[in-house]
Each structure stands twice: as structure tokens, then as C-alpha cells.
Amino acid sequence: MTGAYAIRPAEISDLEGIREILNHFIRTSDATLDYDEKSEADMESWYKSHNDRYPVYVCHEESGRVVGYASLSPFAARAGYQASAEISVYVREEAQSRGTGIALCERMTSLGMETGFTAITAIMTSTNKPSIRMVEILGYQRTGSLRNIGAKFGRPVSLEIYQIYPQ
């Protein structure tokens, strides 16, 4: 990763930067299938739903500005799925192609493996080629797809499923 960036656990004070990044992708991209931008209250609730097992990390500039974030979340609500996690990574456009996403994804993947998850799943829209390349670089394997499972901007959206398992 180039530049003066640092990765650390997210704090409540990082939520506005995280919200800016997420809302940008909600407005402009099918990287998320959310349609409605997130409020401060939405982000606080999201943040509080994470913990040591399902952490949130940020990548920030020396000035403290959040340029990316990553999280591990439960794959699904049922108890049996607590053996695995789903990873999410978002990076500001101006910080992309600098290794920020890979560094965040690598950190979260390592944390997930240390936690003892049986698998970490990355689910991305099929048009999100940079994220697909990112997880492939880190050793995630494509395990499936869901064709035309969603819609955004009046177009059908397909999802690609990637997973990594402990060595």
C-alpha cells in the first residue's frame, strides 16, 4: 500500500467517514444493492452490531480521514452459520488502486482465520471486477453465483460468491 495510511479497529468517531464512503457507493454503483443512503443512526446501529468476533476496521490517512473500511459480519442469522463470516470492503475512489482494499481485506481475512471461522465468504456483484480481483489475489476461491438475483439502476444484478478456508 502506498502513501501514509494506517489500519486500525474502527471507532465511533470514524462512522461519518464510513458513512460517506458507503453512501457514495449506494448512489453511484451496484457494488451494494442498497438503494437508500444511510443516516447517522443507521451507522450507529450497524457499528453496535459488530464486536470482537465480527469487527470493523478502517484505513485512514495521517490526517485521520477514513479512506476505506472493512468488516466481518455474520453470514446469516441462524445459529449454525456462526461458524462462518461474510467480509465487506469499501474504499474511497481516490484511494483505489493503491493497495488499500487488499490491505484491508488481508487484515480482515487474517482476523477471521484467527477467530476460527470455518469459511469467510465474499459476495460481490458480477460487475465489481476490482473486488473480484482483490479476493482472488488473496486466495479466495469462486464457489458459485446467483444470476439476476437483484436489481439496481433498472438493470438485473448477478452475484459472485468467493470463499476462503483456514489452511
CB 51 within 8 A of CB 9: no
- Which residues, 6 or more positions from 93, have their beta carbon under 8 angstroms from its beta carbon? 24
User: What integer pLDDT is reported at residue 143 of this predicted model?
Assistant: 98
Q: What is the spatial distance between Cα 127 and Cα 149, in angstroms, rounded to a whole number? A: 13
User: What integer pLDDT is reported at residue 3 of this predicted model?
Assistant: 56
What are the CA-CA distances from residue 56 to residues 84, 104, 127, 157 (Å)?
Answer: 16, 10, 25, 26
pLDDT profile of the chain (167 residues), mean per 10: 77 97 97 96 97 96 90 95 96 86 96 96 96 96 98 97 91
CB 6 within 8 A of CB 59: yes
User: What integer pLDDT is reported at residue 35 of this predicted model?
Assistant: 97
Where in the chain are the domains?
5-164
Q: Is domain 5-164 given the CATH code 2.120.10.30 in the classification?
A: no
| 129: three-class secondary structure by DSSP | helix
User: What integer pLDDT is reported at residue 99 of this predicted model?
Assistant: 86
- Specify the pTM: 0.93
User: What integer pLDDT is reported at residue 1 of this predicted model?
Assistant: 44
- Which residues, 6 or more positions from 115, have their beta carbon under 8 angstroms from its beta carbon? 53, 72, 85
